[in-house]
């Protein structure tokens, strides 16, 4: 099968094209560096199927970054049958810089002028025939997004792949061409493949290249002596870059005719950036945007209208909320209009999970099992174990998707890239660069791809520090813990707002991440902070197609996880809480004799300083169990509560009133926990904080291990997670319970910070 490789600058639309060609749903993001590894797919619309490889985005073939090494080695060593060089037509000159380098390799090549839809919308024109003539390689206009020109592109690429092409260079001013020509002949004599490309890289003094062709070093130095340039002296790298750009400017300026001649006119994006990336307002605006997202996802009082106007509740209006119509209405409004996130959530839980799937108490499936005449332990396992656990996890699909949708909108519009830029400006002097923030922000979705994305960080210590704090950017799976406990705090104690609590907890995670990463960068993981060069992509309206692809991916992943790893864990937890060490089946009242309860009671005291240890008495172990179950998958925390609530109610003889512990969203289950243990609000918040900052799920730990190359960094990482979660939760609990302990913490932190600053100063002096 023929193989075509997609190569181009970051953010030029490679992945979009890859998805359009192969029908995959790889992650498309409006910021550079989303694709760090290469990816394979198949294009089937030609006479024979063709393999398509999506390479990471690169600006040049001189390897400064891991991406550049991957892309360059792929083209040179794996020899694709054709390189499709994607060029962002809205940014032609800069993109052609890479093209001039790919042209130097002996490989068939086609240039895809992407984003033609945007070019045409701006009223600009590009003469692709002229471009083709001047470059000497085929040029095809396409729009990866609108899927135009793709067939033609693939046909041209296919035709090209049958021919062979010798590399050509635009570096043709006499002296330089002479020098390159001499080196090329020498390399050819040694039977080196791609002699032109290697010759130029050798002249450039490219480090990898010089290493590879050590024997030619002397010869090239001899050649170079014959060459003089007034401006660049013997800095051949700068010289060659300069000549490339000059050539591009001279020859390709005329192929573009711009409607808006004024090149330097401020675009809409620039104007937006004047506000959004403002030196002072940038961060407050980001915090506000973030709050807006949580408000739209979790608030039961949209825009606080209910507080302002005090609308009547449904019961005051005489609506029968037992009837179907009333229930439906109650999904949207009850004394206040709900936010879109809450509405979707209510509809999903009342209509789908209860009626459709019948998981909840009284649901058709639940009743079917209850009346099936099976043995009572089997009914218990299915209804209270599996259905309660699964139902509670599935009930969180809407908030996860809604939140994720908002994050996708921020990403696709180009705003997230600005956040990395703003944060870089704020934290660079403390040893943290914007490049590290990009994977961190990705962590809001899922830690696993975020950790893989850290490969874009060249400095190994910065990378380790980044991988460690990524889990603190609360991922979708941790959301259930937050919403269920926040919901219970509001319902039981009557304090707080769902949007405010969730928002603050996310911020707590972010702040913990920034503080700990700074701590490491100034103590155990000191190192250079490489410059952060990122071009900010233009703002554009998020693409519906991209958003839906993201959501669909997330949904698939979530459902798959629910029915495999979470299902298995709920069964194990149910079994361990219904059997004793002597493997006897226990009634719900005897849950404290179960294997899990006994084990957990043993470690319970460890959690006392965090507020959910021994002080919770004989039922406090449920929190320990939940936290441990969360190590497998964070959704398990709430699934565990749902599974255990029934036992607790039975054994503690709780009068739970109207609570429906089998109800989804875990809110009532958590309330039952509160009733049974008398846990306080600070301890509940501390429990959330613990789960947010402790060892992440199995999958993330595995990824961290692989990305950290094992060794001592991995052990250190596990200890780091445990220590951070312990300290942060202890702080939350103690300050929440006794406000004056804040002074003790502040003093302790001040001592640590001063010690570090003093020590580093001394070290710097010693060095100087
Ligand atoms: P990559 O970094 O090269 O893989 O680029 P992506 O495929 O992730 O795309 C970067 C951004 O450009 C995304 O926001 C895309 O929606 C957008 N994009 C890609 N192709 C086109 C196109 O043909 N037209 C327009 N207007 N936008 C596009
Ligand atoms: Mg990509």
Q: What is the mean pLDDT of residues 713-720?
A: 93
Q: Which atom of ligand 1 is nearest to the CA of 540?
A: 14
Q: How confident is the model at residue 472 (pLDDT cuts 50, 70, 90)?
A: very high
The string of DSSP letters for 336-363 reads SBPPHHHHHHHHIIIIIIIIII--STTS
Tell me, using a 6 A CB cutoff, whether residue 117 lines ligand 1: yes
User: What is residue 88's three-state secondary structure?
Assistant: strand
- How far, in Å, from the CA of 143 to the mean position of ligand 1? 9
pLDDT value of residue 37: 66
- Residues 460-464: contacts with CB under 8 Å, at least 24 apart: 460/527, 461/521, 461/525, 461/526, 461/527, 462/431, 462/432, 462/433, 462/436, 462/521, 462/525, 462/527, 462/529, 462/530, 463/436, 463/707, 464/520, 464/525, 464/708, 464/713, 464/717
Q: Which atom of ligand 1 is nearest to the CA of 33?
A: 2
pLDDT value of residue 31: 61
The residues placing their C-beta within 5 Å of ligand 2, an ion, are: 15, 34-35
One domain for residues 15 and 110? yes
Q: Which atom of ligand 1 is nearest to the CA of 16?
A: 7
Q: Kindly report the CA angle at 96 between 6 and 40, in degrees rounded to 5?
A: 5
- How far, in Å, from the CA of 497 to the mean position of ligand 2? 38
One domain for residues 224 and 120? yes
Residue that is last in its domain, among 214, 242, 265: 265
Tell me, using a 6 A CB cutoff, whether residue 456 lines ligand 1: no
- How far, in Å, from the CA of 31 to the mean position of ligand 1? 9
pLDDT value of residue 678: 93
pLDDT tens digit sequence for 181-191: 888 998 888 88
Q: Does residue 266 carry a pLDDT above 60?
A: yes
Q: Which of 22-36, 365-379, 527-541 has the lowest mean pLDDT?
A: 22-36
Q: Is residue 24 part of a domain?
A: yes
pLDDT value of residue 29: 65
Q: Is residue 751 part of a domain?
A: no
Tell me, using a 6 A CB cutoff, whether residue 646 lines ligand 1: no
Token output for 715: 């052990």
Q: Does residue 223 carry a pLDDT above 80?
A: no
Q: Is residue 444 part of a domain?
A: no
What domain range is 332 assigned to?
A: 308-336
One domain for residues 16 and 144? yes
Q: Is residue 325 part of a domain?
A: yes
pLDDT tens digit sequence for 409-423: 998 898 988 998 899
One domain for residues 58 and 183? yes
One domain for residues 202 and 313? no
Cβ-contact 174, 162 below 8 angstroms: no
Q: Is residue 356 part of a domain?
A: no
- How far, in Å, from the CA of 664 to the mean position of ligand 1? 39
pLDDT tens digit sequence for 212-222: 887 777 777 87
- How far, in Å, from the CA of 6 to the mean position of ligand 2? 10
Which has more confidence, 757 or 319? 757
Q: What is the CATH number of the domain that holds 191?
A: 3.40.50.300
Tell me, using a 6 A CB cutoff, whether residue 63 lines ligand 1: no
One domain for residues 227 and 317? no
pLDDT value of residue 664: 61
Q: How confident is the model at residue 504 (pLDDT cuts 50, 70, 90)?
A: very high
Which ligand lies nearest the alpha carbon of 148?
1
One domain for residues 24 and 98? yes
- How far, in Å, from the CA of 547 to the mean position of ligand 2? 15
Cβ-contact 197, 104 below 8 angstroms: yes
Going by C-alpha positions, the residue among 92, 7, 111, 97 that lies closest to residue 60 is 97
Tell me, using a 6 A CB cutoff, whether residue 14 lines ligand 1: yes
Mean pLDDT of all residues in the chain?
A: 88
Q: Which atom of ligand 1 is nearest to the CA of 414?
A: 14
Q: Is residue 768 part of a domain?
A: no
Q: Best substitution site from 10, 12, 14, 16 to test ligand 1's pocket, by max atoms within 8 Å of Cβ?
A: 16
β-pair type (82-88, 109-114): parallel
Q: Which atom of ligand 1 is nearest to the CA of 19?
A: 7
Q: What is the mean pLDDT of residues 87-115?
A: 93
Q: Best substitution site from 28, 57, 442 to test ligand 1's pocket, by max atoms within 8 Å of Cβ?
A: 28
- How far, in Å, from the CA of 145 to the mean position of ligand 1? 7
Q: Which residue has the tokens 């780091």?
A: 720
| Terminal-residue alpha carbon distance, the chain | 60
The Cβ-side half-sphere exposure at 538, using a 13 Å CA radius, reads 12
pLDDT tens digit sequence for 289-348: 999 999 999 898 898 888 888 888 888 888 887 787 888 888 899 888 999 999 998 888
Q: Which atom of ligand 1 is nearest to the CA of 11?
A: 2
Residue that is last in its domain, among 265, 281, 296: 265
Tell me, using a 6 A CB cutoff, whether residue 144 lines ligand 1: yes
- How far, in Å, from the CA of 544 to the mean position of ligand 1? 13
One domain for residues 242 and 321? no
Number of domain units in the chain:
2
- How far, in Å, from the CA of 79 to the mean position of ligand 1? 26
Which ligand lies nearest the alpha carbon of 35?
2
Cβ-contact 423, 437 below 8 angstroms: yes
Which has more confidence, 276 or 538? 276
Tell me, using a 6 A CB cutoff, whether residue 10 lines ligand 1: yes
As a whole-number percent, the residues of the chain with pLDDT over 70 amount to 96
Tell me, using a 6 A CB cutoff, whether residue 25 lines ligand 1: no
Burial 225-261 (b: 16+ CB within 10 A, else e): eeeebeeeeeebeebbbebbeebbeeebeebbeeeee
Tell me, using a 6 A CB cutoff, whether residue 195 lines ligand 1: no
Q: Which atom of ligand 1 is nearest to the CA of 142?
A: 23
Q: Which atom of ligand 1 is nearest to the CA of 114?
A: 23
Q: Which atom of ligand 1 is nearest to the CA of 32?
A: 2
Q: Which atom of ligand 1 is nearest to the CA of 29?
A: 8
One domain for residues 239 and 330? no
Residue nearest to atom 11 of ligand 1 (CA): 30
Q: How confident is the model at residue 98 (pLDDT cuts 50, 70, 90)?
A: very high
Q: Does residue 736 carry a pLDDT above 90?
A: yes
pLDDT tens digit sequence for 419-445: 988 998 888 888 888 888 888 988 898
Q: Is residue 345 part of a domain?
A: no
One domain for residues 211 and 328? no
pLDDT value of residue 511: 95
Q: How confident is the model at residue 490 (pLDDT cuts 50, 70, 90)?
A: very high
One domain for residues 194 and 321? no
Tell me, using a 6 A CB cutoff, whether residue 416 lines ligand 1: no
Residue that is last in its domain, among 231, 265, 299: 265
Residue nearest to atom 6 of ligand 1 (CA): 13
Tell me, using a 6 A CB cutoff, whether residue 19 lines ligand 1: no
Cβ-contact 355, 362 below 8 angstroms: no
Tell me, using a 6 A CB cutoff, whether residue 636 lines ligand 1: no
Distances (CA, A) of 714 to 583, 630, 726: 37, 20, 19
- How far, in Å, from the CA of 556 to the mean position of ligand 1? 23
Which ligand lies nearest the alpha carbon of 59?
1
The Cβ-side half-sphere exposure at 36, using a 13 Å CA radius, reads 16
Token output for 483: 């919403």
User: What is residue 405's three-state secondary structure?
Assistant: helix
Strand partners, 8: 86
Tell me, using a 6 A CB cutoff, whether residue 30 lines ligand 1: yes
Q: Which of 149-158, 171-180, 264-273, 670-679 has the lowest mean pLDDT?
A: 264-273
pLDDT value of residue 32: 59
Q: Is residue 375 part of a domain?
A: no
β-pair type (50-54, 39-43): antiparallel
Q: How confident is the model at residue 662 (pLDDT cuts 50, 70, 90)?
A: low
Q: What is the mean pLDDT of residues 351-367?
A: 75
Q: How confident is the model at residue 196 (pLDDT cuts 50, 70, 90)?
A: very high
Q: How confident is the model at residue 260 (pLDDT cuts 50, 70, 90)?
A: low
Tell me, using a 6 A CB cutoff, whether residue 349 lines ligand 1: no
- How far, in Å, from the CA of 401 to the mean position of ligand 1? 23
pLDDT tens digit sequence for 560-590: 988 998 889 889 988 998 899 988 888 878 8
One domain for residues 62 and 116? yes
Residue nearest to atom 9 of ligand 1 (CA): 13
Tell me, using a 6 A CB cutoff, whether residue 118 lines ligand 1: yes
Residue nearest to atom 18 of ligand 1 (CA): 13
pLDDT value of residue 261: 57
Q: Which atom of ligand 1 is nearest to the CA of 146?
A: 23
Going by C-alpha positions, the residue among 576, 566, 622, 569 that lies closest to residue 393 is 566
Which has more confidence, 726 or 393? 726
Tell me, using a 6 A CB cutoff, whether residue 410 lines ligand 1: no
- How far, in Å, from the CA of 87 to the mean position of ligand 1? 11
Q: Best substitution site from 13, 417, 550 to test ligand 1's pocket, by max atoms within 8 Å of Cβ?
A: 13
């Amino acid at each position: 099968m023929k193989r075509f490789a997609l190569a181009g600058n970051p953010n030029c639309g490679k992945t979009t094209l890859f998805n359009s060609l192969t029908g995959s749903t790889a992650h498309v993001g409006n910021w550079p560096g989303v694709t760090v590894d290469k990816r394979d797919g198949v294009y089937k619309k030609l006479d024979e199927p063709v393999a398509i490889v999506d390479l990471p985005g690169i600006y040049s073939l001189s390897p400064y970054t891991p991406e550049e090494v991957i892309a360059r080695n792929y083209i040179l060593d794996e020899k694709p049958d054709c390189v499709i060089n994607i060029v962002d037509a809205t940014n032609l000159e800069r993109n052609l810089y890479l093209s001039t380098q790919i042209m130097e390799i002996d490989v068939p090549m086609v240039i895809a002028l992407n984003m033609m839809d945007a070019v045409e919308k701006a009223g600009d024109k590009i003469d692709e025939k002229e471009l083709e003539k001047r470059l000497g390689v085929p040029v095809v206009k396409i729009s990866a997004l609108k899927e135009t020109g793709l067939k033609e592109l693939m046909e041209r690429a296919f035709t090209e792949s049958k021919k062979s092409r010798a590399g050509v260079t635009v570096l043709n001013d006499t002296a330089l061409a002479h020098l390159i020509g001499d080196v090329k002949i020498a390399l050819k004599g040694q039977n080196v493949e791609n002699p032109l490309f290697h010759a130029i890289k050798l002249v450039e003094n490219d480090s990898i290249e010089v290493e590879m062709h050590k024997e030619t070093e002397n010869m090239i130095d001899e050649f170079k002596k014959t060459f003089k340039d007034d401006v660049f002296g013997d800095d051949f790298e700068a010289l060659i870059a300069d000549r490339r750009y000059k050539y591009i400017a001279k020859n390709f300026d005329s192929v573009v005719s711009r409607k808006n001649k004024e090149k330097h006119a401020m675009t809409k994006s620039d104007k937006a950036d004047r506000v959004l990336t403002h030196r002072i307002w940038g961060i407050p605006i980001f915090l506000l945007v973030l709050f807006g997202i949580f408000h739209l996802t979790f608030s039961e009082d949209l825009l606080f209208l209910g507080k302002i106007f005090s609308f009547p509740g449904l019961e005051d209006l005489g609506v029968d909320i037992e009837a179907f119509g009333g229930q439906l209405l109650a999904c949207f409004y009850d004394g206040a209009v709900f936010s879109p996130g809450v509405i979707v959530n209510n509809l999903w839980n009342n209509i789908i999970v209860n009626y459709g799937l019948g998981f909840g108490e009284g649901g058709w499936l639940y009743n079917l099992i209850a009346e099936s005449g099976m043995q009572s332990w089997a009914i218990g396992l299915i209804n209270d174990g599996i259905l309660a656990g699964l139902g509670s996890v599935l009930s969180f699909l809407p908030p996860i998707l809604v939140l994720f949708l908002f994050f996708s909108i921020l990403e696709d519009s180009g705003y997230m890239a600005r956040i990395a830029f703003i944060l870089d400006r704020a934290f660079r002097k403390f040893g943290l660069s914007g490049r590290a923030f990009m994977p961190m922000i990705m962590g809001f979705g899922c830690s696993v791809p975020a950790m893989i994305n850290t490969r874009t960080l060249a400095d190994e210590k910065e990378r380790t520090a980044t991988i460690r704090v990524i889990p603190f950017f609360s991922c979708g799976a941790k959301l259930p813990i937050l919403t269920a406990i926040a919901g219970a705090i509001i319902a039981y104690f009557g304090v707080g707002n769902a949007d405010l609590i969730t928002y603050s907890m996310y911020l707590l995670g972010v702040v913990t991440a920034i503080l700990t990463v700074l701590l490491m960068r100034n103590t155990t993981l000191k190192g250079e902070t490489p410059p952060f060069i990122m071009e900010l992509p233009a703002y554009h309206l998020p693409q519906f197609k991209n958003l839906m692809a993201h959501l669909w991916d997330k949904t698939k992943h979530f459902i798959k996880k629910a029915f495999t790893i979470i299902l298995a864990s709920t069964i194990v937890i149910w079994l361990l809480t219904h059997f004793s060490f002597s493997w006897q089946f226990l009634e719900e009242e005897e849950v404290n004799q179960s294997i899990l309860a006994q084990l957990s009671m043993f470690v319970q005291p460890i959690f006392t300083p965090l507020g959910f240890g021994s002080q919770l008495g004989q039922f406090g172990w449920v929190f320990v169990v939940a936290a441990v179950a969360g190590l497998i998958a964070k959704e398990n925390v709430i699934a565990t509560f749902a599974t255990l609530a029934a036992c607790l109610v039975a054994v503690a003889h709780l009068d739970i009133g109207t609570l429906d512990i089998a109800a989804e969203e875990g809110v009532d289950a958590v309330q039952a926990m509160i009733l049974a243990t008398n846990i306080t609000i600070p301890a509940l918040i501390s429990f959330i904080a613990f789960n947010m900052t402790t060892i992440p799920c199995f999958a993330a730990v595995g990824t961290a291990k692989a990305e950290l190359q094992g060794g001592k960094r991995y052990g250190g990482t596990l200890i780091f997670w445990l220590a951070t979660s312990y300290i942060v939760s202890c702080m939350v609990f103690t300050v929440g319970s006794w406000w004056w302990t804040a002074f003790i913490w502040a003093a302790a932190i001040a001592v640590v910070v001063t010690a570090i600053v003093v020590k580093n100063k001394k070290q710097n002096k010693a060095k100087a």
